Structure 1
Amino acid sequence: MDCRTIIDKEMIAGSSKRAFSTLKTLARTSQPKATVISDADGNLFTETAAVH
């Protein structure tokens, strides 16, 4: 079952809120959380070895 079919079925069933929620979830891009730590001088450390 493809995404369009799922959203169409939800719209036909009268569940537009759920259909738009599904669409929003599918359209969302995933962004991994970056591990960044700054020292007292404001220098940013992004490498795992530098953080430890």
Structure 2
Amino acid sequence: MTYLVSAPYTPTAEWGVRFSDPLFDIQWPLPVSNISDKDAGWPLYDVNAEPFFR
């Protein structure tokens, strides 16, 4: 993955959702066998939580 940024890295601005969130029902083509603790620990999607609800 490549992406451009316009400001320095700010850890407090990070957010994400769990790869296995049942709401999204993503059918991954291969079993997820290697995931970081950080990525495995993201919360389930909540439309009423920041940063999703504006």
Same fold (TM over 0.5): no
**Higher relative strand content:** 1
**Higher relative helix content:** 1
* Higher RCO, 1 vs 2 (CA within 8 Å, ≥6 residues apart): 2
Structure showing greater Rg: 1
